[in-house]
Chain A
C-alpha cells in the first residue's frame, strides 16, 4: 500500500529532462510555479498545462507513475475545490439550496484552483523529483544558494540533511510495511473503528519505526565518519555542473512562460476573473 506512493521519488533514466542541469530544472520549476500563480485566464492555464505535457513527454516517465503521484494529494484537491465552490461569492447565482449558494465565479475559481494545484504538484514532480536524483537536486540547491554561505547559512549541512532524508524515504516505507505486518500478525487492526481508534492503532507502528530510525541514524553516522565525512569544507564533487546552451534556452523559455501567462491574463478572450 505505502509502496504506491510515488510522490517525491526519483526514477532513474536517460531522457532529455533527466540530463538537463539540475540547477536549470530548479530555476525552470520556479518559473513554472510563479507562472501558475500568475495565471488568471483559462488560456494561460492551458499554456501551463501544455508546458507540463511537453516536459512530461521529454521525461519519459510513465503516465501511471504520474497518476499515482496524484493520489496522496487527492484529498487536498477535492477539499480546496469544494471550499472554493461554496465560499466564493460572485454576481451570477447558479444554484441556491438552503444555505448553499453556488456562483458562476465559484465554479470557475474552484476549477482553476484544483487545476492549479494539480499542475503544481505533477509539474514540480516531473521537473524535479522524478527526473533529478536527490543528490543532484540538493547539489543544485547547494550551488544556487551558496551565496548565502557568506551570511553564515549552513547551506551544505542543510543539503546533506535533505539528501539523507530523501535516501531513507523508501527504506522507512518498507520498514513501516514490515512493522504493520508484524503488528497485524499480533492481531492489530488498522482498518476498523472510528478515526480516533485508527489513530490510536498507529502508535504501535510509530514507536518501533522511530526506534529503528534512530538506530539507523546512528549506524549511518558511523558509516559516514568511516568514509571520512567532515562537512562541506574541502569536499569535491564527482559531477561538476556546467550550464550549456540548452540550459540557457530552457531558462529563457521559463521566463517566456511567465511573460506569456501575464499577457494572456489581459486577453479578453480568456475567462478572466
Chain B
C-alpha cells in the first residue's frame, strides 16, 4: 500500500541471521541468512520455500522461540532484543503460531480445555476464558466438538482447534508453520479457508509458511526463501512471473502459470502469470477463438 507516511510494520526483521548450534562448529551453515522483511498489520503473507530453506527457522525467530545471532526483529517498530520475560510472553500472545503436526500441539484431552490453555497461561479471569473459548470455537466452526477429545478428530479439525487455541489468546498475527503439510486435501481446504476468513473478517495478520503454490496465490504478498536467504518478494503476480528463478530453487509456479509457460515455449504468447484456473481458461479460450477467426 503506497502511503505518504509509511505505517510502522507489525513485524519487521533487519538482516536476521541464525545458525543452529552444532557439535562441530566448522561446518555450520546458517539456517537463516541476512533476512529482511516487513509484515504490516492485516496483511496475508505467504513465505515460500523448499524443505530446509530456513522458512520454519525464520518463523521461530519471529516470536523469539529462537534468538537470532545477528540482526534483529522489530514488533511495532520496537526491537525485541533483551526483552524481559513479561514482554516476551506479551509478544507470543500477539504472534501466535500453528505448527505442522496437529497432534503435537494439543495439550489437553478435551477440545475446549485445550483452547483454554493459552488464556489460562495468560492469567485471564475464568468467565472471560469461557467467553473467549466459545467465541474461538465459533470462529473456526467447531462449536459442536467442544467436549470431544482431540484424538477423535480429523487432521483438519485438529488444526482448526489449534487455530482456535491461538485465537483465544486474541493475537494480532497468526503464523501457520506448514500447518497444512500433513493434511489431506479437504483438511488443507478447511485450514486455509479458516485462515483467509480470519484475515478478511477480523483483520488478523496471517503469515503462511508453505511450499504449496495454491496457498501462496491466496496471499497479498509472497516471500520466497532459498538456503536461508530471501530470493524473491512481491505480490503473487510479481513473484510467479519469475518462473525460471522459482525452478532453479526447485519450486514451481501454480499449475496454471506453468501450463501457460509451457505453451509459451511452444510458441504461444500468453501473458504471465495466471494465478487461477478461470483466468487461465479464459486466456486459452480467447486465443483459440482468435486463431479460429483468422484461420
**Which residues of A are at the interface with B, using a C-beta cutoff of 8 A?**
10, 12, 14, 133-135, 163-164, 166-167, 170-171, 174, 215-216, 219-220, 222-230, 234-240
Contact = CB atoms under 8 A, between A and B. Distances in A.
B129 A166 contact: no
A225 B197 CA distance: 26
SS of A interface (majority): helix
A220 B151 contact: no
B125 interface: yes
B92 interface: yes
A163 B108 contact: yes
Interface in B115-155: 116-126, 129-130, 133, 147-151
Interface stretch (B72-80, B99-107, B220-228, B287-295): B99-107
Contacts of A10: 109-110, 149
Given A12-B147, A229-B121, A167 B108 contact: yes
A222 B61 CA distance: 12
Given A219-B99, A228-B122, A238 B109 contact: no
B45 interface: no
B65 interface: yes
B62 to A, nearest CB: 11
B133 A238 contact: yes
A102 B57 CA distance: 70
B254 interface: no
A230 B125 CA distance: 17
A228 B99 contact: no
A238 B120 contact: yes
Contacts of A227: 92, 96, 107, 117-118, 121, 165-166, 169
Contacts of A167: 106-109, 150
Contacts of A14: 147
A133 B93 contact: no
B32 interface: no
B89 A134 contact: no
Contacts of B113: 133, 135, 238
A230 B129 CA distance: 18
Q: Which of A163, A224, A238 has the most CB of B within 10 A?
A: A238
B151 A174 contact: yes
A158 to B, nearest CB: 15
Contact of B101 (A134, A163, A219, A229): A219
B229 interface: no
Given A170-B149, A223-B99, 5 more contacts: A223-B104, A227-B118, A230-B85, A234-B123, A238-B119
Given A219-B101, A228-B92, A237 B126 contact: yes
A177 to B, nearest CB: 13
A201 B30 CA distance: 41
5 contacts: A216-B101, A227-B169, A228-B92, A236-B123, A238-B112
B120 A235 contact: yes
Q: Which of A222, A224, A227 has the most CB of B within 10 A?
A: A227
A147 B261 CA distance: 71
A240 B108 CA distance: 17
Nearest to A231: B121
Contacts of B93: 228
B149 A222 contact: no
Nearest to A13: B147
Nearest to B101: A219
Contact of A223 (B105, B112, B122): B105
A163 B106 CA distance: 11
B210 interface: no
A219 B105 contact: yes
6 closest Cβ pairs, A-B complex: A219-B104, A223-B105, A238-B116, A238-B129, A227-B118, A228-B121
Contacts of B123: 234-236
Given A12-B149, A219-B101, A238-B133, A226 B92 contact: yes
A220 B150 CA distance: 15
Contact of B110 (A12, A219, A234): A12
Contacts of A224: 107, 117
